[in-house]
Structure 1
Amino acid sequence: MRADARKNYDHLLAVARDVVTEHGADASMRDIARRADVGLATLFRHFPTREALFEALLREDLDALTQKAVELERSNPPDEALVSWFREGVAFVHSYSGVVAMMASAHATPDSALYASCAAVHSAGERLLLRAQAEGSARADVNGDDLFALMSALGWLGDQPSFAPRADHLFQVIASAILSERTSGDVRKARC
Structure 2
Amino acid sequence: MSARAQRVDARANRERILEVADEVFGRGGGSASTEEVASLAGVGIATVFRHFPTKALLLEAVLVRRFAGLRAQAEALLGDADPGGAFFGFFRHLVADAAAKIAIGEALLDAGGDQDEAARASAELRRAVGALLGRAQESGAVRTDVELPEVYALLVGTSRVFAGADLGEDVQARALTVLFDGLAPRPV
- Normalising by structure 1, what TM-score? 0.70
CA contact (8 A) 2:25 2:32 kept: yes
CA contact (8 A) 1:69 1:128 kept: yes
The CA deviation at 1:63 is 3.2
Amino acid at match of 1:68: Q
How has the CA–CA distance of structure 1 residues 80 and 35 changed in structure 2, closer, same or farther, with 3 Å as cutoff?
A: closer
**2:79 aligned counterpart, secondary structure:** helix
Correspondent of 2:172 among 163, 167, 170: 167
**2:137 aligned counterpart, secondary structure:** helix
| Mapping of residues 37-186 of structure 1, within 5 Å | 38-39=44-45, 42-96=47-101, 98-99=103-104, 112-165=116-169, 166-182=171-187
Considering Cα pairs closer than 8 Å and 6+ residues apart, tell me whether 1 or 2 has the greater RCO.
Answer: 2
Q: Distance in 2 between matches of 1:162 and 1:93?
A: 14
Q: Which runs of 5+ in 2 are unaligned?
A: 1-5
1:98-140 Cα distance to aligned partner (Å, 9 max, x none): 246589x9xxxx9612123212210111112123334443233
The CA deviation at 1:75 is 2.2
- The reply to whether residue 11 of structure 1 matches residue 26 of structure 2 is no
CA contact (8 A) 2:29 2:106 kept: no
Highest CA radius of gyration, 1 or 2?
A: 2
Q: Distance in 1 between matches of 2:17 and 2:7?
A: 15
Amino acid at match of 2:22: R
Amino acid at match of 1:79: G
**2:151 aligned counterpart, secondary structure:** helix
Q: Which runs of 5+ in 1 are unaligned?
A: 183-192
Q: Distance in 2 between matches of 1:51 and 1:127?
A: 31
Amino acid at match of 2:44: V
Quick check: 113-122 or 76-85, which moved more?
76-85
- Normalising by structure 2, what TM-score? 0.71
1:57-79 Cα distance to aligned partner (Å, 9 max, x none): 24444334323333333223332
Query: Aligned pair count?
Result: 176
1:82-109 Cα distance to aligned partner (Å, 9 max, x none): 2122112222223445246589x9xxxx
Q: Distance in 1 between matches of 2:178 and 2:158?
A: 11
Amino acid at match of 1:62: F
CA contact (8 A) 1:66 1:120 kept: yes
Q: Distance in 1 between matches of 2:82 and 2:23?
A: 36
| RMSD over aligned Cα atoms | 3.2
